[in-house]
Structure 1
Amino acid sequence: MKEETISLGELFSILKRSKWLIVSLALIAAITAFLISSYVIQPTYEASTQVLVAPKESQNNTIDSSQIQSSVTLVNTYRVIIESPAILEQVQENVIGAPDSISNLITVNSEQNSQVINIKIQHTNPVLATDIANEISDVFSKEVPELMSVDNVKVLSNASVPMFPVSPNILLNTAIATVLGLMVGIAIAFLKVVLDRRIKTEQDVENILELPVLGSIPVIDKVEMQRQVNVKGEQVHA
């Protein structure tokens, strides 16, 4: 059997014939994703606060580069302390309504070679997320002198109540679902052609049966057939 190939024109023809199927699947996927993102998935809010690891001043009230580098080095240690039970258990006790596992809500990071630590809390309740974030920075700044025997942490900025959720991203989810719907529709359109082994044209006979076409019977619709009958009838009467 000859190897079957599909030309670019045939590809466009397949897509054109199945355009309503493709569009319908894309619309269904987009509407479904929009409704789920808007009304099913509970929105999540993020509150963030920052603490500064300040270098210790020398006796002459100056700060040199070695002291700054020492503070930067301490940042990684402080990030671990912030997420430790020593801090989070106190926060859980102090904040009314705080969940049992705050560690699942918190994200602690810092820029490379930065003395600033970012503390982020994500929760479905924006007020609770704000309270937890601010309490973590407060407890941490108070506990550091006892834990590290050095008082070099200051709260740089307090968290404010977020007005808009960070997830779900309704627009992004809808766009992704639309693309997936289009891809599924196109795949189904091509599968219908590939799996359809019926012989419809002279070209199908040559490709599938590998036989030459000796002749074909044209398809004439009823209107054309009636017109030809009328013409022949007029010729006979003439």
Structure 2
Amino acid sequence: MQVGFMRRFDAGYRQMKEVLSTGSLGAPLIVHCAHRNPTVPESYHSAMAAQDTAVHEIDVLRWLLDDEIVSAQVVTPRATSKRFAHLKDPQIMVFETAEGVRIDLEVFVNCQYGYDIQCEVVGEDGLVRLPDPAAVGIRTAARHGTGVLQDWKDRFAEAFDTEFREWVAGIAAGTEPTGPSAWDGYAATVITDAAVRSLETGGETVTVDMKPRPAFYGGTA
């Protein structure tokens, strides 16, 4: 079984993983992330910022850092006037890992300007930053700029294709899937549950209630 988190198959995130795996940046210390959508429908509610949106960062950061998230805190700054009244937006999520890495994640789902995913890992000896999607530069009317994608499907279409191709190739070869396992899905769910509890309690830091990892998934339990 493989859970459909696609970020691990994105070329930019894979490049970040390669850099971090070499150890050339030293131990990771801090991670800065942002997940921005232009708008969301009225059915989107505050808990979905963790459960539907930040869950992708949570999975890919566990993979990038090879570390487990042990606590979550959600604070709400001044709300944008562009949101529906029932929605707390933006939200700032702060996570801590077992190794002491601090992660801050801005979730802003009514940013208006586009679909924008950012990630930067700061290590002892340098940093690595997720590249923006390739785009042509446009010079016109005394300005120079590039377009901003407007949709998650455009941003991660290639990652989805890679995910499916590698899964099919693995099944054809009779090997285990290389993507996120059912345990990774469980871990992401437990962490988002902690984030939602923090939101509901007004920003308290909530300990992630993770069960021991079974031996089937590489653990000792």
| TM-score computed with the length of structure 1 as normaliser | 0.21
| TM-score computed with the length of structure 2 as normaliser | 0.22
Structure of greater Rg:
1
- Which structure is higher in helix share? 1
